Protein backbone atom coordinates (compact mmCIF):
# COMPACT_ATOMS: atom_id res chain seq x y z
CA UNK A 1 0.00 0.00 0.00
CA UNK A 2 1.10 3.55 -0.79
CA UNK A 3 0.43 6.10 1.97
CA UNK A 4 0.21 9.86 1.42
CA UNK A 5 -0.10 12.52 4.09
CA UNK A 6 -1.21 15.84 2.58
CA UNK A 7 -1.84 19.15 4.33
CA UNK A 8 -4.49 21.53 3.03
CA UNK A 9 -6.67 18.99 1.23
CA UNK A 10 -9.91 21.00 1.36
CA UNK A 11 -9.14 23.09 -1.74
CA UNK A 12 -6.66 23.96 -4.48
CA UNK A 13 -3.59 21.81 -5.09
CA UNK A 14 -4.20 19.64 -2.02
CA UNK A 15 -7.70 18.75 -3.17
CA UNK A 16 -6.50 18.03 -6.72
CA UNK A 17 -3.71 15.77 -5.42
CA UNK A 18 -6.17 13.88 -3.23
CA UNK A 19 -8.62 13.34 -6.09
CA UNK A 20 -5.89 12.06 -8.40
CA UNK A 21 -4.34 9.73 -5.82
CA UNK A 22 -7.63 8.15 -4.81
CA UNK A 23 -8.03 6.78 -8.35
CA UNK A 24 -5.47 4.15 -7.31
CA UNK A 25 -6.89 1.36 -5.15
CA UNK A 26 -3.43 0.73 -3.72
CA UNK A 27 -3.23 4.24 -2.22
CA UNK A 28 -4.52 5.65 1.06
CA UNK A 29 -4.58 9.41 1.62
CA UNK A 30 -4.48 11.04 5.05
CA UNK A 31 -5.89 14.52 4.56
CA UNK A 32 -4.72 17.07 7.13
CA UNK A 33 -6.91 20.15 7.13
CA UNK A 34 -9.06 22.36 9.36
CA UNK A 35 -12.07 21.84 7.10
CA UNK A 36 -13.00 18.38 5.89
CA UNK A 37 -15.36 17.71 3.00
CA UNK A 38 -16.86 14.30 2.30
CA UNK A 39 -14.38 12.29 0.23
CA UNK A 40 -14.96 8.77 -1.06
CA UNK A 41 -12.38 6.03 -1.34
CA UNK A 42 -9.39 5.34 0.89
CA UNK A 43 -9.36 8.77 2.52
CA UNK A 44 -8.65 9.33 6.20
CA UNK A 45 -9.57 12.82 7.44
CA UNK A 46 -7.31 14.39 10.07
CA UNK A 47 -8.71 17.62 11.50
CA UNK A 48 -5.76 19.83 12.41
CA UNK A 49 -5.17 23.57 12.60
CA UNK A 50 -1.59 24.08 11.41
CA UNK A 51 -1.48 27.54 12.97
CA UNK A 52 -1.93 26.03 16.46
CA UNK A 53 1.13 24.63 18.22
CA UNK A 54 -1.07 22.44 20.44
CA UNK A 55 -2.44 20.70 17.34
CA UNK A 56 1.03 20.25 15.86
CA UNK A 57 2.49 18.87 19.08
CA UNK A 58 -0.42 16.47 19.57
CA UNK A 59 -0.28 15.01 16.08
CA UNK A 60 1.50 11.69 15.59
CA UNK A 61 2.02 9.77 12.37
CA UNK A 62 0.27 6.37 12.57
CA UNK A 63 1.76 2.92 12.29
CA UNK A 64 1.24 1.73 8.70
CA UNK A 65 0.34 -1.73 7.46
CA UNK A 66 2.91 -3.10 4.96
CA UNK A 67 3.87 0.23 3.36
CA UNK A 68 5.51 0.23 -0.06
CA UNK A 69 5.75 4.02 -0.37
CA UNK A 70 5.22 6.76 2.23
CA UNK A 71 4.89 10.40 1.20
CA UNK A 72 4.40 13.65 3.09
CA UNK A 73 3.21 16.63 1.03
CA UNK A 74 3.35 19.94 2.88
CA UNK A 75 0.93 21.87 0.70
CA UNK A 76 -0.95 24.16 3.10
CA UNK A 77 0.13 27.79 3.10
CA UNK A 78 -0.94 31.37 3.78
CA UNK A 79 -0.26 34.62 1.93
CA UNK A 80 -1.02 36.68 5.06
CA UNK A 81 -1.54 40.43 5.07
CA UNK A 82 -0.59 41.91 1.70
CA UNK A 83 0.85 45.12 3.07
CA UNK A 84 4.26 46.73 3.58
CA UNK A 85 6.04 45.93 6.81
CA UNK A 86 5.04 48.59 9.30
CA UNK A 87 1.40 48.31 8.26
CA UNK A 88 1.07 44.55 8.77
CA UNK A 89 -0.85 42.88 11.57
CA UNK A 90 1.53 41.23 14.05
CA UNK A 91 -0.63 38.15 14.60
CA UNK A 92 -0.89 37.68 10.83
CA UNK A 93 2.91 37.50 10.60
CA UNK A 94 3.07 34.97 13.46
CA UNK A 95 0.31 32.77 12.00
CA UNK A 96 1.88 32.86 8.53
CA UNK A 97 5.28 31.68 9.74
CA UNK A 98 3.64 28.97 11.85
CA UNK A 99 1.67 27.58 8.90
CA UNK A 100 4.33 28.12 6.20
CA UNK A 101 7.49 27.22 8.12
CA UNK A 102 6.97 25.83 11.61
CA UNK A 103 4.22 23.35 10.69
CA UNK A 104 6.02 21.72 7.73
CA UNK A 105 9.28 21.66 9.70
CA UNK A 106 7.67 19.87 12.64
CA UNK A 107 5.82 17.46 10.36
CA UNK A 108 9.08 16.66 8.54
CA UNK A 109 10.76 16.04 11.88
CA UNK A 110 7.99 13.72 13.06
CA UNK A 111 7.79 11.96 9.69
CA UNK A 112 11.50 11.10 9.76
CA UNK A 113 11.34 10.11 13.44
CA UNK A 114 8.45 7.74 12.71
CA UNK A 115 9.34 6.25 9.33
CA UNK A 116 13.02 7.04 8.78
CA UNK A 117 14.27 3.56 9.70
CA UNK A 118 11.85 1.74 7.39
CA UNK A 119 13.50 0.23 4.28
CA UNK A 120 10.84 1.54 1.89
CA UNK A 121 10.58 4.49 -0.48
CA UNK A 122 9.95 7.65 1.55
CA UNK A 123 9.51 11.15 0.15
CA UNK A 124 8.74 14.62 1.47
CA UNK A 125 7.49 17.20 -1.01
CA UNK A 126 7.11 20.78 0.15
CA UNK A 127 5.10 23.22 -1.96
CA UNK A 128 7.44 26.16 -2.25
CA UNK A 129 7.15 29.39 -4.25
CA UNK A 130 9.18 31.58 -6.56
CA UNK A 131 8.50 34.27 -3.94
CA UNK A 132 11.14 32.58 -1.80
CA UNK A 133 13.77 33.75 -4.27
CA UNK A 134 12.43 37.22 -5.03
CA UNK A 135 11.67 40.30 -2.92
CA UNK A 136 8.07 41.26 -3.66
CA UNK A 137 6.71 44.45 -2.08
CA UNK A 138 3.82 43.71 0.27
CA UNK A 139 4.82 40.06 0.61
CA UNK A 140 7.78 40.29 3.02
CA UNK A 141 6.49 37.63 5.40
CA UNK A 142 5.40 35.30 2.60
CA UNK A 143 8.70 35.66 0.72
CA UNK A 144 10.66 35.13 3.93
CA UNK A 145 8.65 32.06 4.87
CA UNK A 146 9.16 30.36 1.52
CA UNK A 147 12.89 31.14 1.55
CA UNK A 148 13.05 29.55 5.01
CA UNK A 149 11.16 26.48 3.81
CA UNK A 150 13.57 26.05 0.89
CA UNK A 151 16.69 26.20 3.06
CA UNK A 152 15.21 23.97 5.76
CA UNK A 153 14.34 21.44 3.05
CA UNK A 154 17.80 21.63 1.49
CA UNK A 155 19.48 21.05 4.85
CA UNK A 156 17.34 17.98 5.56
CA UNK A 157 18.06 16.79 2.00
CA UNK A 158 21.80 16.93 2.75
CA UNK A 159 21.36 15.24 6.14
CA UNK A 160 19.42 12.36 4.62
CA UNK A 161 22.32 11.48 2.32
CA UNK A 162 23.96 9.92 5.39
CA UNK A 163 20.90 7.91 6.45
CA UNK A 164 20.73 4.13 6.01
CA UNK A 165 17.31 4.42 4.38
CA UNK A 166 17.19 8.06 3.25
CA UNK A 167 14.08 10.16 2.78
CA UNK A 168 14.04 12.02 -0.54
CA UNK A 169 13.24 15.70 0.11
CA UNK A 170 11.90 18.21 -2.42
CA UNK A 171 10.90 21.86 -2.21
CA UNK A 172 9.18 22.61 -5.50
CA UNK A 173 7.57 25.85 -6.65
CA UNK A 174 4.34 25.24 -8.62
CA UNK A 175 4.23 28.53 -10.53
CA UNK A 176 1.15 30.77 -10.54
CA UNK A 177 -1.86 28.56 -9.81
CA UNK A 178 -5.58 29.33 -9.87
CA UNK A 179 -6.26 28.88 -6.15
CA UNK A 180 -7.95 30.74 -3.29
CA UNK A 181 -4.61 32.40 -2.55
CA UNK A 182 -4.67 34.02 -5.99
CA UNK A 183 -8.18 35.34 -5.26
CA UNK A 184 -6.86 36.89 -2.03
CA UNK A 185 -4.06 38.57 -3.99
CA UNK A 186 -6.51 40.01 -6.52
CA UNK A 187 -8.70 41.30 -3.67
CA UNK A 188 -5.80 43.11 -2.01
CA UNK A 189 -5.51 46.90 -1.87
CA UNK A 190 -3.70 48.39 -4.87
CA UNK A 191 -2.01 51.00 -2.67
CA UNK A 192 -0.47 48.24 -0.52
CA UNK A 193 0.59 45.97 -3.39
CA UNK A 194 2.32 47.49 -6.40
CA UNK A 195 1.92 44.32 -8.51
CA UNK A 196 -1.84 44.08 -7.99
CA UNK A 197 -2.70 44.78 -11.65
CA UNK A 198 -0.27 42.11 -12.85
CA UNK A 199 -2.07 39.39 -10.88
CA UNK A 200 -5.49 40.66 -11.94
CA UNK A 201 -4.36 40.38 -15.57
CA UNK A 202 -3.04 36.85 -15.08
CA UNK A 203 -6.58 35.74 -14.24
CA UNK A 204 -8.19 37.89 -16.91
CA UNK A 205 -5.87 36.52 -19.60
CA UNK A 206 -6.24 32.88 -18.50
CA UNK A 207 -2.54 32.62 -17.63
CA UNK A 208 -3.02 30.75 -14.36
CA UNK A 209 -2.21 27.05 -14.13
CA UNK A 210 -4.99 24.81 -12.85
CA UNK A 211 -4.55 22.83 -9.60
CA UNK A 212 -5.14 19.62 -11.57
CA UNK A 213 -2.20 20.37 -13.89
CA UNK A 214 0.05 21.08 -10.92
CA UNK A 215 -1.07 17.90 -9.15
CA UNK A 216 -0.25 15.86 -12.24
CA UNK A 217 3.29 17.27 -12.36
CA UNK A 218 3.89 16.77 -8.65
CA UNK A 219 2.77 13.15 -8.91
CA UNK A 220 5.07 12.66 -11.90
CA UNK A 221 7.99 13.76 -9.69
CA UNK A 222 6.91 11.46 -6.87
CA UNK A 223 6.53 8.51 -9.25
CA UNK A 224 9.93 9.09 -10.90
CA UNK A 225 12.17 10.31 -8.07
CA UNK A 226 15.22 8.79 -9.77
CA UNK A 227 14.88 11.46 -12.49
CA UNK A 228 14.87 14.34 -9.99
CA UNK A 229 18.07 14.27 -7.90
CA UNK A 230 17.92 17.91 -6.78
CA UNK A 231 16.00 19.28 -3.82
CA UNK A 232 14.90 22.74 -4.95
CA UNK A 233 13.41 23.57 -8.34
CA UNK A 234 10.26 24.83 -10.04
CA UNK A 235 7.64 23.01 -12.09
CA UNK A 236 8.46 25.54 -14.79
CA UNK A 237 11.84 23.82 -15.12
CA UNK A 238 10.21 20.55 -16.19
Catalytic residues: 142
Edge-to-edge strands, sheet with 43-47:
43-47, 27-33, 2-7, 69-74, 121-127, 168-173, 232-234
* Cβ atoms of residues 74 and 88 within 8 Å: no
Query: How far does the chain reach from its first CA to its final CA, in angstroms?
Result: 28
Helix (H) or strand (E) holding 95: helix 90-97
Task: Determine the 3-state secondary structure of 69 from DSSP.
Answer: strand
CA distances from 114 to 107, 118, 164 (A): 10, 9, 14
- Find the largest Cα–Cα distance for the chain: 55
Partners of 4 in the β-ladder: 29, 71
Amino acid sequence: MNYFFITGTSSGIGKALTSALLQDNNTKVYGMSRRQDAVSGSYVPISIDLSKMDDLNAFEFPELDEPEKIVLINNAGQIGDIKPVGNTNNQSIADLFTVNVTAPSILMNKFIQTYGALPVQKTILNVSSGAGKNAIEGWAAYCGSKAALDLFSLTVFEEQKKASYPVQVYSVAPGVVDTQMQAEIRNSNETDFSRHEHFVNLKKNNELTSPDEVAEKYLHILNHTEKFPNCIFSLRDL
